[in-house]
Amino acid sequence: MNDIKMEKLYLNNESIHMSMIASYNTPQKYLDATLSYLEERELENNLIIGLCNGYEDKKKKQDGCVFINAIENGEIVATSIKTTTRAIVSCTRGNLEYIRLLADYYKMNKIEIRSVFGEQECAFEFSKCYGNEKPDTRGVIVHQLETLNELSLLAGELKLCDLNDLELITDWMMIFEQEAGGFSQPNRKQMYESTKARIKSGNFFKLIDNEEVVSMAALIRKTKNIGIIGFVYTPHDLRGRGYATTCVWKLSEQILNTGFKYCGLFTDASNPTSNKIYRNIGYLPVAEFNEIKLG
């Protein structure tokens, strides 16, 4: 089996006469071809990089997954991966038209996609080209932190979660996903297993105050220069006390102290409270993203 498959696709009768779609049969082959392109905009592409690096065996073909690039004159101009039923898309600024090639590839090959995620213009262009007339969208903002602001923090201690925390963290993760409003909601069994794996990886953290676990956060992805924080949650009855701020500040400090140049995170665009918390810590918005339900 060839590692890379090339297909010719056309953009109607516009100034671009012919482009190629390159598809790769493993995450490693895709990364070998694409990583330098992705790292030109490392924060914006952290999800693609992180997901590809997250496979247990990157050299193995992943059932149901897709890894493709749109190529013009030998250069990558747009890229996409598909995991389960969600496509993630990215393009070089000014090359939005190449998103059509990615959408056409998925349609021509009858690849099922239930949602698309990408920077706002990319996601909407893909949705339009894919044939989605009335998109159901969820907006998120990606933020970056280089230097922590000095804040008055609570006295809580940030510690690694262990398997004794599994039931509690699973419960919190279920509520977190419901509040996040994603288009795909895992059942508790799936969440239990994924949370167990994350705790075992040593990247899930808890904030403890007076011997009580009061907040959580995780280092969910790593790229060359950036550690990405996610799954920030504080129970409703403990909110408004500064626990989330303390938890994220301390985890951000730990990430920077381990050699990363930046921290990053995604926030719900419609949640002014969380966005304010992260701005106070030192996070600055970089780009707006959308997840769009297809069909």
- At 152-207, the pLDDT tens digits run 999 899 999 999 999 999 999 999 988 886 666 678 999 999 999 999 999 999 99
Spans of the chain below 50 pLDDT: 1, 12-17
Total residues found in the chain within this entry: 295
Q: Which two tokens stand for residue 293?
A: 């339900």
Asked if residue 191 belongs to a domain, the reply is yes
**Same domain as 129, residue 14:** yes
- pLDDT value of position 132: 74
Asked if residue 222 belongs to a domain, the reply is yes
Q: Which H or E run contains 251?
A: helix 243-257
**Same domain as 151, residue 282:** yes
* Pairing of β 86-91 and β 115-119: parallel
Among 153, 175, 165, 194, which Cα is nearest to 232's? 175
Q: Residue 185, SS3?
A: coil
- pLDDT value of position 90: 97
**Same domain as 161, residue 119:** no
Asked if residue 293 belongs to a domain, the reply is no
Asked if residue 262 belongs to a domain, the reply is yes
**Same domain as 87, residue 61:** yes
**Same domain as 90, residue 225:** no
**Same domain as 161, residue 27:** no
Range of the domain at 267: 144-288
**Same domain as 20, residue 123:** yes
Considering its fold, how many domains does the chain have in total?
A: 2
* Pairing of β 75-83 and β 284-293: unpaired
Cα-Cα-Cα-Cα dihedral sign, residues 190, 192, 197, 203: positive
The enclosing domain of 279 has a CATH number of: 3.40.630.30
- pLDDT value of position 9: 58
Asked if residue 139 belongs to a domain, the reply is no
Cα-Cα-Cα-Cα dihedral sign, residues 68, 95, 47, 136: negative
The C-alpha atoms of residue 197 and residue 204 are separated, in whole angstroms, by: 10
Asked if residue 295 belongs to a domain, the reply is no
**Same domain as 179, residue 263:** yes
- pLDDT value of position 1: 43
Packing angle of the helix pair 120-130, 99-108 (nearest 10 deg): 40
* Pairing of β 66-72 and β 19-24: antiparallel
**Same domain as 83, residue 185:** no
Among 101, 134, 96, which Cα is nearest to 118's? 96
- pLDDT value of position 182: 64
Q: Residue 160, SS3?
A: strand
**Same domain as 167, residue 128:** no
The residue out of 67, 98, 133 marking a domain boundary is: 133
The residue out of 82, 113, 133 marking a domain boundary is: 133
Among 216, 122, 104, which Cα is nearest to 160's? 216
Q: Which two tokens stand for residue 177?
A: 């996903």
The residue out of 133, 166, 196 marking a domain boundary is: 133
Residue that has been written with the tokens 């810590």 in this structure: 281
**Same domain as 207, residue 244:** yes
**Same domain as 154, residue 91:** no
**Cβ atoms within 10 A of the Cβ of 136, count?**
13
Averaged pLDDT of the chain: 91
Count CA atoms closer than 13 A to 14's CA, side-chain side: 9
- pLDDT value of position 8: 61
Q: Are 99 and 122 in contact (CB under 8 A)?
A: yes
Q: Which two tokens stand for residue 259?
A: 């050699």
Backbone φ, ψ for residue 84 (5° rounding) = 50, -110
Asked if residue 260 belongs to a domain, the reply is yes
The enclosing domain of 77 has a CATH number of: 3.40.630
